[in-house]
Amino acid sequence: MPGTCRVNEKGRLEIGGVEAGELARRFGTPLYVFDEEAFDQRVREFQAALARSWRDYQLLYAGKAFLTTGFAALVAQYGLGLDVVSGGEIYTALQGGFPPARMVFHGNNKTVEELDFALRVGVGRVVVDSADELHRLQQVAAARGQVTPIWLRVTPGIEAHTHHYIQTGQLDSKFGVPLAGGQALAVLQEALQLPNVRLMGVHAHIGSQILDPTPFQLVAPLLVQLLAQLREQAGVTLRELDLGGGFAARYTKEVIPPVAQVVGALASALATACDQQQVPAPKLFLEPGRALVAEAGITLYRVGTCKTIPGVRTYVSVDGGMADNPRVALYQATYRACLPDRLQEPATETVTVAGRFCESGDVLVRDALLPPVHSGDLLAVFTTGAYHYSMASNYNRVPRPAVVTVRAGQAEVLVERETYADLVRLDRIPSAWRRPADVAGSAEPVAVSAHGQAEASAAGR
Ligand SMILES: Cc1ncc(COP(=O)(O)O)c(C=O)c1O
């Protein structure tokens, strides 16, 4: 079981010392549960691996995996940096008290407003994604009378996903400036000419859920070679190098190499390349998202309709689905599930755990081996901490679940459950579309209970 999940004396699932059933009763379902200690362990593993393998380093957390104001506050306490990709992520992190100087601003199409916002609040590094953006940033910085520190994101021609990686030389990607044909080198040289940006380093991110160190070992020397070329042609030695995220998490049966092994292999490839190219060892940045938070997340659902189609399959439908976990529909992601209150019963049935949303593809776990499932059972899906809450939607106008964090027997809310009122908060009815009574302002508002049911308002019926 991941993180602090364990089966307690009563044969029930406990997360961070709190029974899953109790969490469901207190906070309702679907519920995202964040296991703080699991996150703590992962951060420590990365920090220890970096400390052992490299002299000067900074671990960043990629906020796109999961970010709330509370979580930003926790990440800040660990002394991590933060990879942000939008004005909204910057704002969220600031609201959580995260120091802007430790933020690194990514994105292939940051707007002028976002760039201006980032500079105004003092984001630490802007990661320039193209020649086009370099010039846009120069203008924004000049208009503000600032000089802003930057990295350049390069596309190294290696794309990795799980055990597969391809070396294409010329990568077809919307992100970054290709190394191929000297394009990245040319943009670096351009950056050196601009008065309002200060070039500090280079960055590459080559994919996600990378299960072995090889692609990282291939990328490191390519970036070092770029640093050597820049030194040769422009006489400038850059001191910062970010090898991105992409480190794997365990969803089902994947074998994940220890963090120390991957980081050690990556660092030794980097050290060798620096020696060979006689480039001074740069400060090394890594920015994992998934590897730090995926296994710290568990989603709790309540089972509703169970339906067996003889000779075909049994569908067990839960009260969430693709709106709180779009990864199955998007990437055919696979998951492990269990019945938290019935862990000691033998798993004898293979069922399909389906969501409640109006799409046939709304399935959470295709073949889950569970004890016979009944309506009303609690069901847990593991490894839902990354790219779940952050990718959640209100499809079918279903309010998004709450997020709670658990540690040492205590649970606290990170994000409140949305209500029906939240769903319509930003909606407007054009005046020509309103019923005359509404225009006159005499429409009766419908109040909504904590559980989302409509009630007659106190002032009304
Ligand atoms: C630039 C960059 N850094 C870091 C990450 C985090 O990746 P992961 O969650 O796979 O570690 C991503 C993910 O898309 C990314 O684009």
Pairwise CA distance, residues 454 & 249, whole Å: 41
Place of tokens 């889950």: 368
Residue 163's pLDDT is what? 66
Which residues, 6+ apart, have CB-to-CB distance to 292 below 8 Å? 39, 42, 43, 46, 61, 65, 386
419 backbone dihedrals φ, ψ, rounded to 5°: -115, 170
Which residues, 6+ apart, have CB-to-CB distance to 319 below 8 Å? 29, 30, 301, 302, 304, 356
Q: What is the pLDDT averaged over residues 413-417?
A: 98
65 lines ligand 1 (CB under 6 A): yes
Instruction: Please give the distance, rounded to the nearest whole angstrom, from the Cα atom of residue 4 to the centre of ligand 1.
Output: 25
State pTM to two decimals: 0.94
| Residue of 250, 164, 252, 244 lying closest to 204 (CA atoms) | 244
81 lines ligand 1 (CB under 6 A): no
| Residue of 350, 284, 347, 381 lying closest to 49 (CA atoms) | 284
pLDDT in tens, 20-38: 999 999 999 999 999 999 9
Residue 460's pLDDT is what? 37
Q: What is the pLDDT averaged over residues 35-58?
A: 98
List % helix, strand, coil for the chain (3-state, nearest 5): 35, 25, 40
CB 21 within 8 A of CB 340: yes
Mutate to test the pocket of ligand 1, among 85, 208, 389 (most ligand atoms within 8 A of CB): 208
User: How long, in residues, is the chain?
Assistant: 461
What are the boundaries of each domain within the chain? 6-34+294-415, 420-456
Map residue 156 onto helix, strand or coil: coil
Q: Look at ligand 1, atom 1, and give the residue with the nearest C-alpha.
A: 205
Q: Is 306 an active-site residue?
A: no
Determine the atom of ligand 1 nearest the C-alpha atom of 247: 11
Residue 2's pLDDT is what? 80
Determine the atom of ligand 1 nearest the C-alpha atom of 287: 4
62 lines ligand 1 (CB under 6 A): yes
119 backbone dihedrals φ, ψ, rounded to 5°: -70, -40
Residue 6: both structure tokens together: 């364990």
Question: Which parts of 278-337 fold into alpha helices (H)?
Answer: 290-293, 327-331
For residue 291, the one-letter residue type is A
Under CATH, which number does the domain 6-34+294-415 receive? 2.40.37.10
Cα distances (angstroms) measured from residue 19 to each of 295, 298, 304, 409, 451: 18, 12, 21, 9, 22
Pairwise CA distance, residues 62 & 287, whole Å: 6
Q: Look at ligand 1, atom 5, and give the residue with the nearest C-alpha.
A: 245
Indicate the pLDDT class of residue 461, thresholds 50, 70 and 90. very low
In terms of C-beta density within 10 A (0-12 exposed, 13-18 middle, 19 or more buried), how is residue 377 classed? buried
Instruction: Please give the distance, rounded to the nearest whole angstrom, from the Cα atom of residue 64 to the centre of ligand 1.
Output: 8
246 lines ligand 1 (CB under 6 A): yes
Question: Which parts of 236-333 fold into alpha helices (H)?
Answer: 259-277, 290-293, 327-331
14 lines ligand 1 (CB under 6 A): no
The conformational region for residue 207 under phi > 0 = left, psi -120 to 50 = alpha, else beta, is left
Sign of the C-alpha dihedral computed for residues 22, 26, 28 and 30 taken in this order: negative
pLDDT in tens, 121-167: 999 999 999 999 999 999 999 999 999 999 999 999 887 876 666 65
291 lines ligand 1 (CB under 6 A): yes
Name the E strands within 356-442: 363-370, 378-382, 402-407, 410-415
205 lines ligand 1 (CB under 6 A): yes
pLDDT in tens, 218-254: 999 999 999 999 999 999 999 999 999 999 999 999 9
Instruction: Please give the distance, rounded to the nearest whole angstrom, from the Cα atom of residue 98 to the centre of ligand 1.
Output: 19
Q: Per-residue pLDDT for 289 more than 70?
A: yes
